[in-house]
Amino acid sequence: MFPRAFTFCILFAGVSPIASASALGSAPLSYDDARHLLNRTGFGATSSEIERYVGMSREQAARKLLDGARTTALTPPPAWTAEVGPLRYPRPGDNASQMERKLFQQEQVREGLELRGWWLSEMLATPSPLTERMTLFWHNHFVSSQQKVKLALLMYRQNVTLRAHALGNFGDLLHAVARDPAMVIYLDSAQNRKGTPNENFAREVMELFTLGEGRYAEQDIKEAARAFTGWSIDRDSGRFMFRPFIHDDGVKTVLGKSGNFDGDEVLDILLAQPATAEFVVRKLWREFVSPDPDEQEVSRIARRFRDARYDIKVALNDIFTSDAFYAKQSRASLVKSPIDLVVGTLRQFNMAPSEPTPFAVAAAGMGQNLFSPPNVKGWPGQETWINTSSLLARKQFLERLFRGDDPSRMAALPRTERMVPEMPRQALQQGELDPEKARQIRFLRAMERGMQSVQFDSAKWMSQVSSAPDPARRAADAERVLLATAPQAEPDAPGDPLALVRSLVLDAAYQLK
């Protein structure tokens, strides 16, 4: 016996304990494990979805999720996304009137809202929530914002590109994003010309997309910016265009390598750096596992990620099968983003809104406005999602969804407790309000109607979650599907399903995943 045990130790010397445990195979997934996996990789898994994963090995479960990845959206996009031809964009030299500019702006706002509604619908409808989560992850990695890009059409096209590569190859994704028109506008590549370089893209591609802060010198940015000169867009088609006349053909030195590089060659130099794989894996860790990356694990997974030529599924598979992912201290360690909260809740409770836009607007009100991250660094996430203002917005949203099936209860509530304060109806009808205010009120009313369009049948939901006859047992089953950790407060009235759900979703534990 002794020599055998000794050999065993030698075999695993130098391998981290986590890797060795995975290599030895893991126990089949319990209900809680499956719930954890699906809520981290998707949004608000239902009990029947969870049951499908119970009993699988970690490897089987990860494979099933990764094999189900999509490259396109299922939900038909708004009609205007099919547009071809010149971008409708009043340019400085156009002499567009004030009115034309205003109309353009209103049109982009309207299209932007439709776009947000479309993506939210896709998150609700997709058979592969992981695809949408990864698309959102890349949206927050390769940040562009409609605030600057203006054209909803270009934001849509970028979203299509992000989804196409979401679980594909990181190198391909990086190359595609670098020439994505919305990105070209967002990071001023179009202003980057030979002789008068704009370093914005070169800086962010190193700091935020690949290497991470401190892994390059200021001079690397200056040299790389020269390689990207001439990367522009064709205003007539709205597509990427290389303009050779403003491209700098000189020799550049980036991270110790010299040559007459173009932008793609610089991206390849960045991809060859081990720091890039580590930077991305660390970020994936914070997205899926916990706020505190295990550096040993990060470098192990990053090495495999790079060896696999940046196959994103390889990195995700390693993360989804790791001990750290399933570790007790990782459970309930992440704060739900507003999208997690809104989409997760709608999915969790089988609510199908007839109009999705109000829910995208609700998430924006909690601090996550899709297609408009706050700045180039994206949403910082985790604890920054929660402050006194956003927490009350979250709770009010939940309170409103679970107010009750009974319309008389709704009518009995004081007016100010509705999402949108009661509007001066008469003034609106009589045209006494200024048009801007009137438009705002109509918009808020439409949002209110959208919010009212979802119905929650608590008795039906309860019967799907639990078949136990005993109310206390049913309450425990509901808690298990809804919360990643024990509730802070004893749930109210376990006999009344609506009161039970309300107290569980309003519990602090529901803010975590």
Partner 1 sequence: MSPTSKSTDRRRFLKRAGGLAVVALAPSAATRVAWAAAPSGADYRKLLVLIELRGGNDGLNTVVPYASSTYYALRPKLAIARDQVAKLSDSAGLHPALEPLLPIWNQRELAVLQGVGYPSPNLSHFRSIEIWDTASRSEEYLQDGWLTRTFSSAPTPRSFAADGVIIGSPDLGPLAGGGTRAIALANTDQFLRQARLAAAEGQARNKALAHILKVEADIMQAASHLNANYAFRTEFP
Question: Which parts of this chain interact with partner 1 (CB under 8 A)?
Answer: 147-148, 188, 200, 291, 329, 332-335, 365, 374-377, 380, 382-384, 386-393, 395-396, 399, 416-417, 440, 485, 487-489, 506-509, 511-512
Q: Which is nearer to partner 1, 408 or 416 (CB)?
A: 416
CA–CA distance, 290 with 484 (Å, rounded to integer): 13
Smallest distance, partner 1 to C-beta of residue 261, A: 24
Q: State residue 196 phi and psi, 5-degree precision.
A: -130, 70
CA distance 309 to 272: 10
User: Exposure of 229 by Cβ count < 10 A (0-12 exposed, 13-18 middle, 19+ buried)?
Assistant: buried
Which of 204/318 has CB closer to partner 1?
204
What is the b/e burial string over 298-323, where b = at least 16 CB atoms within 10 angstroms of the residue's CB? bbbbbebbbebebbbbbbbbbbbbbb
Q: Which is nearer to partner 1, 333 or 350 (CB)?
A: 333
SS3 246: helix
- Given a contact cutoff of 8 angstroms between Cβ atoms, the answer to whether 112 and 51 are in contact is no
Q: Which two tokens stand for residue 6?
A: 């000794």
Whose structure tokens read 């998707």?
42
Among 264, 303, 383, 240, CA closest to 15? 303
Question: What's the CA gap between 312 and 62, in Å, rounded?
Answer: 13
Classify the C-alpha dihedral 347-351-357-359 as positive or negative: negative
Query: How many DSSP H helices and E strands does the chain contain?
Result: 27, 4
| 8 Å CB contact between 322 and 288 | no
Nearest to 223 by CA among 209, 235, 205: 205
* Residue nearer to partner 1 on the CB measure, 68 or 424: 424
* 55 SS3 class: coil
**Residue 56 or 391 having the CB closest to partner 1:** 391
What is the nearest approach in angstroms of partner 1 to the Cβ of residue 128?
A: 27
Minimum Å distance from CB 428 to partner 1? 15
Nearer to partner 1, 299 or 382 (CB): 382
239 neighbors 181 (Cβ within 8 angstroms): yes
- For partner 1, which is the closer residue by CB, 312 or 498? 498
Dihedral pair phi/psi, residue 253, rounded to 5°: -120, 115
CB of 434 to partner 1, least distance (A): 13
Instruction: Look at residue 308 and give its three-state secondary structure.
Output: coil
**Between 298 and 334, whose beta carbon lies closer to partner 1?**
334
67/383 with CB nearer partner 1: 383
Q: Minimum CB separation from partner 1 for residue 486, in Å?
A: 8
CB of 388 to partner 1, least distance (A): 5
Nearest distance from residue 357's CB to partner 1, in Å?
Answer: 19
- Give the separation between CA 229 and CA 227, rounded to whole angstroms: 6
Q: How far is the CB of 212 from partner 1 (least distance, A)?
A: 14
As measured in angstroms, the least distance from the Cβ of 288 to partner 1 is: 15
| Pick 416 or 426: Cβ nearer partner 1 | 416
In whole angstroms, the minimum distance from the beta carbon of 513 to partner 1 comes to 9
- In 192-293, where do the E strands start and end? 231-234, 239-242, 252-254, 257-259
Q: What is the dihedral of CA 353, 356, 358, 364, to 10 degrees?
A: 130
Nearer to partner 1, 277 or 366 (CB): 366
Least CB distance to partner 1 at residue 313 (A) = 28
Residue 43 CB contacts under 8 Å (≥ 6 apart), including other chains: 123, 129, 132, 133, 339, 340, 343, 344, 347
For residue 101, the minimal CB distance to partner 1 (Å) is: 14
Nearest-approach distance from CB 236 to partner 1, in angstroms: 24
Backbone torsion region of residue 84, taken as left when φ is above 0, otherwise alpha when ψ lies between -120 and 50, otherwise beta: beta
